[in-house]
Amino acid sequence: MSSTAGQRMDGKSVCIISANCQGAYIKALLNAHADFARDFEVHYFVNYQKQSVPSELLARCDLLIYQPLGANWGDLSNDSLLAAVPEGCRRIAINYLTFPVYWPGFAIDPRNVPTPAYPFGPFPYGDRVVIEALAAGESPARAAERFAGDEYPGSVDLDAVIADYVLSQRQIETRRDQKLLDYIMAHFRSAKLFETYNHPTQPLCVHQVNDLLAMLGYRALEAAEELPLDYLTINQQPLHPGVAQALGLAFEATEETIYRIWGQPMSFGAYAGAYAKWDVEAIGRELDGSTPPPPPPPSGADVMSKHTRAAKPKLLPVALPEGQRQWVFLHIPKTAGTSLNDMFDEALGSNPAPHYNATVLLMKDAERRSRALIRGHIHYDAIDALRTERLVFTFLRDPVDRTISAFEFMKSHPETWLGKLAQGSLTEFLAHPYVTQSIADLQTRMLGSAMDVRRLYARLVRKDLTQEQYFEEFRKRSLLPPDEASLERASERLLSMLHVGFTETFAEDCETLFAKLSLPCPAARQSNRTPSAYRRRDSYTEAELDLVRSVNRFDAILYARAQALRAQGRI
């Protein structure tokens, strides 16, 4: 352990972070650091939400990381916090990271009022050119033209903006323990360091935390510990192409560059028009002109409420507000998952999310961290690329029945690549190496995977891997055979899930799941069924069934364990 903090006899030392939303990634990256996480338990309190730090926790604090606040903030002011922690507590004052240089016209727009769907307002990053044009009586269309036009860069003095920023930050940093200005000014042209006026990007987040770790005597984050902070990109602030050119930015910021506005894709021009006209519905339209976003999501599984089939459908949002739990359905093939997906569509009144037919497709989806519902044939540890606030559920099936159902289903679809292999006998089918990789022990394979998502992502960020190599690694790792370690991981993960259902008790388990999610439960149905004419289990010879059992030995153990956990009331 670092010598900067003393280990308590009763456990880990206490680290308290009192900060704005930037404290979220500081906590996440500190917790991802193996040595720091071994030494400290980290507690994060959101200062702008006025989350008070319990006095009992302050009295035990060994490390306080805080953004200074004035006396008018009461017990959150730095004077109050510093007086409440022990004399030997290490205190580190950090700055509120902002950057007007990318957005020299940034201003607070008086029209921007928070709503339930948009907790910081539909357009939280205003521009003075638009505000002044509208105040002068110009039309929204003309204001948008001024905002997006070629004359915009000439309306701002970029050299003055940079000089003012450096001067103000230099003065502020004289009162801070952490100083990041030199790094920002040395790198802002070569790498995009901010997503919005006040939201740093992954490289700056990692640099800031590494700087904190160095101050405390710890090594820097390893590549595998630089976990993806995709939630930072849910709402981006588009860069004016002319400003980007005038600044000489090395990264892409052109007319064609696509940004995410509350999770939805928009070019700078589309954003400028929507912002000037205050076209809130435009935020929810894809570039092809689809429908606006549905209202906010239900509260999740906090309440086990009664439900009725006559209840009005609850729509999930396109972009999930930060802090809301993400719903994740791990759909193991041939466990009635398609039926469950159809029931979700009915209960939610729409199709709220795509279905990923492979883990690699999930990893390719830039919107995945903002989607309210994630579902598909996804390996368990790939959810590390999703939100930490999530509710995971799955269904299991007797492995012999599942394998036979898969074989018969593929036999009825000879146009597919596995369908071609299923045109012979079951014995021939199971002997093929592609089948061994795709069908055998699939439940253990998907739930017990160890794909090392964070390390792969870190290699991509460092450019050790190309995008193509990155996704190819996921494909290869998804085909690795399971082992005893996979089985143990899968068994442990069952206990962490919101719900584990069984195909054999599908209707009953759907009722339970939908109640946990506070959703009306539609009548159970059977979708994507194996044709009714297919051979049932009892039509196969005992030798054939033994062969099926032999290629599913881990799944048999996992299924038996799950049934036992159900009997004990633990899942």
Share of residues in the chain with pLDDT > 90 (%): 46
DSSP annotation of 331 reads -
Please check the confidence at residue 531 and state whether its pLDDT lies above 70: no
Helix (H) or strand (E) holding 328: strand 326-330
Average pLDDT over residues 464-477: 79
Please check the confidence at residue 395 and state whether its pLDDT lies above 90: yes
Helical axes 553-567 vs 484-496, angle rounded to 10°? 30
Split at pLDDT 50, 70, 90, the class of 393 is very high
CA distance 382 to 451: 7
Give the domains, in start order, of the chain with CATH numbers. 98-197+237-293 (no CATH), 326-567 (3.40.50.300)
Please check the confidence at residue 486 and state whether its pLDDT lies above 80: yes
Q: What is the DSSP string of 476-503?
A: HHHTSPP-HHHHHHHHHHHHHSSEEEEG
Other beta carbons within 10 angstroms of residue 335's beta carbon come to 25
Measured CA to CA in angstroms, residue 518 lies from 128, 131, 287, 371, 515 at distances of 44, 43, 33, 19, 5
What are 507-511's contacts with CB under 8 Å, separation 24+? 509/395, 510/340, 510/343
Angle 183-187-189 (CA atoms, 0-180°, nearest 5)?
150
pLDDT at 330: 94
Please check the confidence at residue 534 and state whether its pLDDT lies above 70: no
Cβ 25 vs Cβ 229: under 8 Å: yes
Residue 458 identity: A
Q: Read off the tokens for 176.
A: 């801070």
Please check the confidence at residue 37 and state whether its pLDDT lies above 90: yes
Other beta carbons within 10 angstroms of residue 416's beta carbon come to 12
Q: Which residues pair with 327 in a beta bridge?
A: 373, 391
Q: Could you give phi then psi for residue 327, rounded to 5 degrees?
A: -95, 130
Q: Read off the tokens for 247.
A: 């600044």
pLDDT at 527: 61
Please check the confidence at residue 314 and state whether its pLDDT lies above 80: no
Please check the confidence at residue 115 and state whether its pLDDT lies above 70: yes
Q: Could you give phi then psi for residue 391, rounded to 5 degrees?
A: -120, 115
Residues of 524-541 as b/e, b for ≥16 C-beta within 10 angstroms? Answer: bbeeeebeeeeeeeeebe
| pTM of this prediction exceeds 0.75 | no
Q: Could you give phi then psi for residue 344, rounded to 5 degrees?
A: -65, -45
Residue (of 230, 198, 214) closest to 103 by Cα position: 198
Cβ neighbors of 295 (< 8 A, separation 6 or more) are 116, 117, 315, 317
CA distance 355 to 358: 9
Q: What is the DSSP string of 496-559?
A: HSSEEEEGGGHHHHHHHHHHHTT---PPP---SPPPTTSPPGGGS-HHHHHHHHHTTHHHHHHH
DSSP annotation of 50 reads T
pLDDT at 88: 94
Cβ neighbors of 438 (< 8 A, separation 6 or more) are 418, 479
Average pLDDT over residues 109-132: 86
CA distance 501 to 396: 6
Please check the confidence at residue 256 and state whether its pLDDT lies above 70: yes
pLDDT at 248: 95
Three-state DSSP state, 414? coil
Residue 377 identity: H
Condensed to tens digits (0 to 9), the pLDDT of residues 265-294 reads 889 999 999 999 999 888 866 444 343 333
Cβ neighbors of 140 (< 8 A, separation 6 or more) are 134, 276, 277, 278
Cβ 421 vs Cβ 434: under 8 Å: yes
Cβ 64 vs Cβ 92: under 8 Å: yes
Residue 114 identity: P
Cβ 176 vs Cβ 66: under 8 Å: no
Q: What is the DSSP string of 168-199?
A: HHHHHHTT-S---HHHHHHHTTTS--EEETTE
Cβ 513 vs Cβ 505: under 8 Å: no
Helix (H) or strand (E) holding 447: helix 442-447
Angle 234-238-243 (CA atoms, 0-180°, nearest 5)?
155
Split at pLDDT 50, 70, 90, the class of 102 is very high
Residues of 246-277 as b/e, b for ≥16 C-beta within 10 angstroms? Answer: bbebeeebeeebbbbbbbbebbbebbbbbbbe
Measured CA to CA in angstroms, residue 69 lies from 78, 94, 169, 379 at distances of 5, 11, 16, 44
Average pLDDT over residues 33-54: 91
| Mean pLDDT score across all residues of the chain | 84
pLDDT at 308: 29
Three-state DSSP state, 264? strand
Please check the confidence at residue 2 and state whether its pLDDT lies above 90: no
pLDDT at 285: 60
Please check the confidence at residue 24 and state whether its pLDDT lies above 60: yes
Cβ 436 vs Cβ 443: under 8 Å: no
